[in-house]
Structure 1
Amino acid sequence: MPPRCDRISELPESLLTHILSFLPTNHSVETSVLSTRWKNLWLNVPALDLNCDHFPYIEDYVVISFLDRLLQFDPDSRLVKVKVKCGSVEIKGLKDRISTVIQRGPQVLDVESCTKYLDPDTQTYSPYLEFMPLNLYTSKTLVSLKLTRSGVEDPGFVCMPCLKSMTLVAVHFRDDVTLEKLVSGCPVLEELTLIRDIYSCFVGEVDRFMRVRSGSLKRLCVPLWYGLSCSSSSAKCRLEIDAPGLEHMVLGEDQFESIVVHKKLTSLFMVDLNIKFGELFLYGISSVGHMIISETTLKALELYSRVELIPKFNNLSRLEAVFPGNLLQFLPAFLECCPNLKHLILEVYYLREMEEDALLTNVPQCFLSTLECVELKRIHDWEEEEMRVATYFLENAAVLKNLTLSLTNYPRLISDEEIFEEVNKVTKRSPTCQILPDW
């Protein structure tokens, strides 16, 4: 039998280092024991993925020595992708090494900073905020930047000419204009994600105002901190958006005192809302083509409609909404503001024995000319209220093509087949309308 050949080791070094770049750095280091060929191969990998928690000792010098060896092996080589998770406890000297890494011209940088400081005298831990090195804000190579639990001081001057994507998770700013400076200094920035840690001990007055100003921004995402909701007034914040080129916006945090859109977002295609808002915000998003709204946002809309007119959403063709049953009487009025709506996805939380004022009677303009598809989602039961909503669309939508019923597996006294048989008996205003299951 001929001897086995190590085909992997025969591959070109450029290909081997490319393969290793997909591994965490501690795993690529482990390949150095395979053979002489592999001994220093990990040092040539154009990527660094370092999790300080994976080191066997917590002494600072272990991590620092490892980084120094890597950075000094070939100081002129370029690190294309860098990911550093610093662990929970401060590592002295790590900030300087991150500064050196930035000098190596990475395109992707992902840093999760430490959150605690060990007092050498008392041997107790205290909250700690590590600020990023200043050369970060003048990187000429970064395309993607993610910072987690880091501090950002006033950089003075920001120029990141290639940065297209920025994610800031639980980042704290030295003052209330630093975020604006940071975003404005990225002339080709297209995607921005902001996740505030509203429970942090570092939340203060400077965290009560955020302004996003960008002429290039296309996507803005401000979700809740890991899906949590908070009623603490200390987390309240005013958000101002001055980004006329926005195409996609997700706003999920409910701790904004106010949200202001300075210019009408004429390019906005899709918006996903789980927030309260004001007049200036509604006008700013009125050109949107696809809108997703939560129950929270819907309740705010209904309250707003009692004192002011809701603007027309003339470009809106697709709407996804969650309606509590006690607000169903608001549905026709809201749809009247969507004269060109084509596709409606509706999830209703039904309330039994709904009052007479919840009856659906008015017929919005879109029912007569544009509404083609309606989906009723997550139907648990089938009683008079569910039938009333289905009948409302079938009897009034003149150009409706499909009414889709999405029935859950929740136990019901009536079978799915009986439900569809009952719905098909309704007189349809649109003779071509089909009743479809979503199974």
Structure 2
Amino acid sequence: MPGIDRISQLPESLLTHILSYLPTKQSVKTSALSTRWKNLWLSVPVLDLDCGIFPFGEDQVLLNFIDRLLEFNPDTRLLKVKVKCAWMEIDGLKDRIRTLIHRGPRHLDVESCTKYIDSDTEVYPYLEFVPLNLYTSKTLVTLKLTFSGLEDPGFVCMPCLKSMTLVEVHFRDDVTLEKLVSGCPVLEELTLVRDMHSSFVGDVDRFMSVKSGSLKRFHVPLWHGTYCSSSVKCTLEIDAPGLEHMTLGENQFDSIIVVQKLISLFMVDLDISFAVDFGELFLYGISSVGHMIISEKTVKALELYSKVVGLIPKFNNLSLLEAVFPGNSLQFLPAFLECCPNLKHLILEVVYSREMEDAFELTNVPGCFLSTLECVELKRIHDWEEEEMKVATYFLENAAVLKKLTLSLTNYPRYVPDEEILYKVNEVKKCSPTCQIHPDWELC
């Protein structure tokens, strides 16, 4: 019948479950719908609170709000807590966070306040440290801390924590991260973003150790920008023999050391430079990988390493390689592929430069061309000039077991007619009539 409020007739447990998908601000607004909804938001097992919605300078209003929520059902467990208070220094909030942790959440996401007050005589940093009871939570499954401070925990035991994300977290000393990770026996995923320009006094964040027997995925994502640089030098040490996926997407560390060979490593995605002095420890540590993605920046670092040190370690298990080669490093391609004796699939992007036309003359033939390389995809072919087609010809003339070559265009305007491209493709195909050539006219 029209006019019947069927939603309000649902069980309270179902209504609070629905409200748990809303930010707390929106959940509170439902209290104005009817008497039935007046206090429902107080029973929602999720707190998703942006402190910025409260009037500036009226911290007590915020604290009273959290207190009311905590006192309404003191025995009810909060399954998820998300609190954002960036750039707001709130005296007393740490005590509320401590109480929220005590309520046994499975998921905790806290964005704390970090401020730097500059003057003519001093730099005064303000940082909110997380409550110490965090380190012994027996319920947390996922943890995300942003702009927070971590004191020396002394003892860490989080037996259920599987995923941890630390974004620009300030550590009291260099062993805090190692203690934190080591105290999570089932931790499987770690995301780490350094504070690249810390103004805190003290010789900290110079050495970071990720030591875990359970860790499977480790990510250092692109966060600050492609050309980031740090005012604080830092060495990253990785001791995680069970690691399966690793992403190093930024130069947040000036040196990276892999303590022992990562024999379980399946995929690594690198967009970094690395110190030549520590290159052997790093490259040998990841040499068991099966799928590798390397950026233009990493290719240049590998090329420099090969010139200064010599041979790059063999990647005997590598079957899939995705690489971006700058035109002036293309001559390094055969030498690098020589280190991949069992490569089956290559996805190659060449950053074309008209000033480096001689770079497209490739002659050396790596061993994988004669035995394993079956599929090659050349990405971002711009205007299909003769020099660029030499790269395709190089693979067709020399890869003895090649079965498929894919030529992928870019999203730039193409000024060469399809007929001319088809003519060039047919000319290239004469080099290897048995190979299937797939020109991709769509965007890739």
Band of TM-score, shorter chain:
over 0.9
What letter matches 2:185 in structure 1? P
Could you tell me whether the CA contact under 8 Å between 2:198 and 2:232 is conserved in 1? no
Q: Deviations over 1:342-396 (max 9, x none)?
A: 1111111122253646521111121122212111111222212211101101111
Q: Which residue of 2 aligns with 1:168?
A: 166
Q: Give the Cα–Cα distance (whole angstroms) in 2 for the partners of residues 417 and 311 of structure 1.
A: 44
Q: Give the Cα–Cα distance (whole angstroms) in 2 for the partners of residues 294 and 220 of structure 1.
A: 18
Q: Give the Cα–Cα distance (whole angstroms) in 2 for the partners of residues 65 and 370 of structure 1.
A: 67
Which piece of structure 1 moves more, 199-208 or 333-342?
Answer: 199-208
What letter matches 2:81 in structure 1? V
Give the C-alpha shift of residue 409 in structure 1: 3.9
What letter matches 1:374 in structure 2? V
Q: Which residue of 1 aligns with 2:97?
A: 98
SS of the residue 2:333 aligns to: helix
SS of the residue 2:254 aligns to: strand
SS of the residue 1:58 aligns to: coil
SS of the residue 1:91 aligns to: coil
Q: How does 1:309-320 map to 2 (within 5 A)?
A: 309-320=311-322
Give the C-alpha shift of residue 204 in structure 1: 5.3
Q: Which residue of 2 aligns with 1:330?
A: 332
Give the C-alpha shift of residue 117 in structure 1: 8.6
Q: How does 1:8-47 map to 2 (within 5 A)?
A: 8-47=7-46
Q: Give the Cα–Cα distance (whole angstroms) in 2 for the partners of residues 143 and 61 of structure 1.
A: 31
Q: Which residue of 1 aligns with 2:438?
A: 435
Give the C-alpha shift of residue 115 in structure 1: 2.1
Q: Give the Cα–Cα distance (whole angstroms) in 2 for the partners of residues 410 and 321 of structure 1.
A: 20
- Cα–Cα, structure 1 residues 394 and 190, in superposed 2: closer, same or farther, change >3 Å? same
Q: Deviations over 1:221-277 (max 9, x none)?
A: 112433253344x22210100000000000122142211101100110110111123
Q: How does 1:298-317 map to 2 (within 5 A)?
A: 298-306=299-307, 307-317=309-319
Q: Give the Cα–Cα distance (whole angstroms) in 1 for the partners of residues 363 and 194 of structure 2.
A: 43
Q: Give the Cα–Cα distance (whole angstroms) in 1 for the partners of residues 340 and 155 of structure 2.
A: 44
Q: Which residue of 1 aligns with 2:255?
A: 258
Q: Give the Cα–Cα distance (whole angstroms) in 1 for the partners of residues 205 and 331 of structure 2.
A: 39
Q: Give the Cα–Cα distance (whole angstroms) in 2 for the partners of residues 395 and 203 of structure 1.
A: 61
- Cα–Cα, structure 1 residues 9 and 117, in superposed 2: closer, same or farther, change >3 Å? farther
SS of the residue 1:179 aligns to: helix
Give the C-alpha shift of residue 57 in structure 1: 4.6
What letter matches 2:431 in structure 1? K
Give the C-alpha shift of residue 56 in structure 1: 3.6
Q: Which residue of 2 aligns with 1:191?
A: 189
Q: Which residue of 2 aligns with 1:121?
A: none
Q: Which residue of 2 aligns with 1:122?
A: none
Q: Which residue of 2 aligns with 1:295?
A: 296
- Cα–Cα, structure 1 residues 203 and 16, in superposed 2: closer, same or farther, change >3 Å? farther
SS of the residue 2:62 aligns to: helix
Q: Deviations over 1:39-76 (max 9, x none)?
A: 11111101000000012453110100000000011111
Q: Deviations over 1:130-161 (max 9, x none)?
A: 00000000000000000000000001000000
Q: Give the Cα–Cα distance (whole angstroms) in 1 for the partners of residues 414 and 7 of structure 2.
A: 59
Q: How does 1:183-262 map to 2 (within 5 A)?
A: 183-202=181-200, 205-232=203-230, 234-262=231-259
Q: Give the Cα–Cα distance (whole angstroms) in 1 for the partners of residues 253 and 184 of structure 2.
A: 25
Q: Which residue of 1 aligns with 2:147?
A: 149
- Cα–Cα, structure 1 residues 70 and 392, in superposed 2: closer, same or farther, change >3 Å? same
TM-score, length-normalised on structure 2? 0.93
Q: Which residue of 1 aligns with 2:126?
A: 128
- Cα–Cα, structure 1 residues 203 and 432, in superposed 2: closer, same or farther, change >3 Å? farther
Q: Give the Cα–Cα distance (whole angstroms) in 2 for the partners of residues 294 and 108 of structure 1.
A: 34
Could you tell me whether the CA contact under 8 Å between 1:139 and 1:160 is conserved in 2? yes
Give the C-alpha shift of residue 86 in structure 1: 1.3
- Is 1:364 aligned with 2:360? no
- Cα–Cα, structure 1 residues 10 and 203, in superposed 2: closer, same or farther, change >3 Å? farther
Q: Which residue of 1 aligns with 2:397?
A: 395
Could you tell me whether the CA contact under 8 Å between 1:398 and 1:430 is conserved in 2? no
Q: Which residue of 1 aligns with 2:120?
A: none
Q: Which residue of 2 aligns with 1:342?
A: 344
- Aligned Cα root-mean-square deviation (Å): 1.9
Q: Deviations over 1:322-354 (max 9, x none)?
A: 101111111111111111111111111122253
Could you tell me whether the CA contact under 8 Å between 2:294 and 2:323 is conserved in 1? yes
- Over the matched positions of the two proteins, sequence identity in percent amounts to 77
